[in-house]
Amino acid sequence: TEQELLLMSLMKLYQDAADTLEDLIHEKPDEYLQPCLERGLKYETCYEFVCGTVPWRVFLAKMKACGHDAEFMKQYDISEHMFDRRHITFALRDKNGMVVGFARRRLDYDSQAEKLARSTNSYYPPKYYNTSASVPFFQKEALLFNLDKARKEHFRRLEIFEGYFDVMSAWQAGLRAVTCACGGAVTEFQIMQAQDCGFMQFNFVGDNDPAGVKMMQKALDMCSGREGLRATVTFLTFGPEVPDKDQDPDGFFRWYGLDAFTKIPAVSGFDWKLWAECQVANWDPW
């Protein structure tokens, strides 16, 4: 049918886009991977996750050589808005490894500028942008980044982080059963996807800030009562030597490594609530 033909065309478009991104970063790794390397990622990690920053005109020329029309590409989110030197672009795959979308991270993002814009009701471009709903097989609420690789490790425990760079830094450090939601909080659909892949314990690791704590609490509540599933959280602590900008999971692995992470006990929801109540009472249960 016409719809089936369109779906096949889109699947080929997205696979070719991921292949083109991968080819380009292999052609000029020192240039196209520079922003990733500056964040502490290694060449091998960038190749593994197919992420980099590439010139739109070069990318477009290669896509046209594959037989793709520029207007059709733009209609379905393969455009300069997603692929250019102002962003780091990531390939997103479903649990079976099929390319279903892309995400990009702005290189010139400034949190202070965003706060100022919000205070004046002004528009500020988002830090991250994912493939839009115009692509029928991109379902952000059901997608977990790196789940296709994590499920092959045959671990029972899955580490769920907040961001793409957290996952890549953890993977680079040697932690393999790692994932994150592709923008926003973890959803019921994502929990079901991970359970279907055989994981029996979800350990949530958030940024050490109010937003991260809120994310972990919501995720724990969502997992409570699910048969055969254990949900825990890991709180990361940082020494005075770590600057504020690095006090997140991504920075933790770069500063301390995998051994330090594995020594931190995973806390159950019950123990976390007990700890919170004791903090209010100014008493340390540990």
pLDDT tens-place string over residues 13-66: 999 999 999 999 999 999 999 999 999 999 999 999 999 999 999 999 999 999
Tell me the sheet residues that pair with 157: 201
Quick check: 283 pLDDT over 70? Answer: no
Residue type, 275: W
In the prediction, which pLDDT does 208 show?
65
Rg (CA), the chain: 20
In the prediction, which pLDDT does 260 show?
95
In the prediction, which pLDDT does 97 show?
94
**Model confidence at 223, in pLDDT bands (50, 70, 90)?**
confident
In the prediction, which pLDDT does 280 show?
47
Q: Which residues of 40-79 are buried (b: 16+ CB within 10 A; e: fewer)?
A: bbeeebbeebbbbbbbeebbbebbeeeebeeeebeebbbb
Distances (CA, A) of 193 to 11, 79, 100, 139, 147: 21, 29, 15, 12, 9
Contact, 78 vs 17, CB < 8 A? yes
Backbone angles phi, psi at 274, to 5 degrees: -65, -45
Residue 80: count of CB within 10 angstroms of its CB: 14
Quick check: 93 pLDDT over 60? Answer: yes
CA 75 to CA 191: how far, in whole Å? Answer: 31
In the prediction, which pLDDT does 281 show?
47
Helix, strand, or coil (residue 187): coil
- Across the range 87-97, mean pLDDT stands at 95
Dihedral-angle region of residue 45 (phi above 0 means left; psi in -120 to 50 means alpha; beta otherwise): alpha
Token output for 17? 């886009």
Q: What is the pLDDT of residues 109-127, one digit of tens each?
A: 998 999 999 999 999 988 9
Beta strands 201-204 and 230-233, pairing class? parallel
Distances (CA, A) of 200 to 156, 194, 215, 229, 280: 5, 9, 20, 5, 32
